[in-house]
Amino acid sequence: MGVHSFIVGCSGLVLNTEERDFYRDFNPWGFILFKRNIDTPDQVRALTAEMRACVGRDDAPVLIDQEGGRVQRLGPPHWPKYPSGRELGEIYLQDAVKGRELCRLNSLKMAHDLLQLGINVDCLPVLDVPVKGAHDVIGDRAYSYDAEVVAVLGRAAAEGLLAGGVLPVIKHIPGHGRSGADSHHTLPIVTASRKKLEAQDFLPFKALADMPAAMSAHVVFKSIDGDNPATTSRKIIRTIIRSKIGFDGLLMSDDLSMKALTGTFRERTEACFSAGIDVGLHCNGNIDEMRAVAESTPLLAGKARRRAETALARIRHRVEPL
């Protein structure tokens, strides 16, 4: 059976019978973990191993959002509390060389934490560039208000993950920092001109266009496509992400269960693939929603399969020691 182009989570600390059967029936490309799935190191290792056993692929990607600061799925007492992107950015402003190296080492340490648990993909770095007055959904998750600083530290973070054997996912392409709303709850609409977007919001993504994977933004950019958020906009994916930014890596959606998107889960899923997304992402572990997404998801084939294989090939099997 072929691999389906989606990533899903699970409801708890262990898989239940329904989840095991679902994974075996639909063979998702990958999995994602959240705090509800995290207890002890041994428990997480057992969970990631069982996920992979269900699909019969030892290299199946297991993702997590381990940014540091307020978005950190692994934390004390078993794992360190990591600094936020903004804290790293403030160090960089005091000493650029020290700040960049600390950012890289911070991600290298994160990668070592993750790899010991069977997690091989981190949804980091955040390349969004916030503006004054924007919603705090990004806030201190961003390295700086300066797009150039975001690009420098974003690359340092990505390099640290890669050196530690973990695949980075740049997010939220082509930019979520200017949004006035939280896309978890409502659809953000950005009215800035394309010229302004290219000068600031898109800049870090263009600087890191060589990265293996990216996560889309559920944001409407009125100056480019007034009707659809980037995730479901064929125009934004083709003319901005693939062309202007020049990103040819694996493009995954942000969470399809977020309220920024409308319609049934079948409609959301079909819309994102029709627009040009390579892999759909569903996070909340709701089995009925997962099934609707799976039934609307194509097999991983063509350019999407090439991009997925190329991304996984970037994972180093011999990691840099701390």
Interhelix angle 287-295/265-275, rounded to 10 degrees, is 40
Amino acid residing at 74: L
Catalytic residue list contains 254: yes
Give the DSSP H/E element, type plus range, for residue 215.
strand 213-216
CA distance 120 to 117: 9
Round to whole Å and give the CA distance between 314 and 128. 23
Measured CA to CA, the distance from residue 106 to residue 156 in angstroms comes to 9
Note the residue count of the chain.
Answer: 322
Comparing CA positions, the residue from 146, 171, 145, 113 lying closest to residue 319 is: 113
282: CB partners within 8 A, 6+ apart: 6, 7, 8, 9, 255, 256, 257, 265, 289, 290, 293
SS3 148: helix
- In the chain, DSSP finds a helix count (H) and a strand count (E) of 11, 13
Contacts of 249 by beta carbon, 8 Å cutoff, 6+ apart: 209, 210, 211, 212, 213, 214, 307, 310, 311
112 by Cβ neighbours in 10 Å (0-12 / 13-18 / 19+) ranks as middle
- At a CB cut-off of 8 Å and minimum separation 6, what does 281 contact? 6, 7, 32, 215, 252, 253, 254, 255, 256
Given the residues 25, 42, 136, 184, select the one marked as catalytic: 184
184 given a catalytic annotation: yes
DSSP 37-105: G-S-HHHHHHHHHHHHHHHT-TT--EEE-EEETTEESS-TTTSPPPPPHHHHHHHHHH-HHHHHHHHHH
- Among 254, 255, 278, 282, the active-site one is 254
What type of residue sits at position 217?
A: A
Active site residues: 184, 254
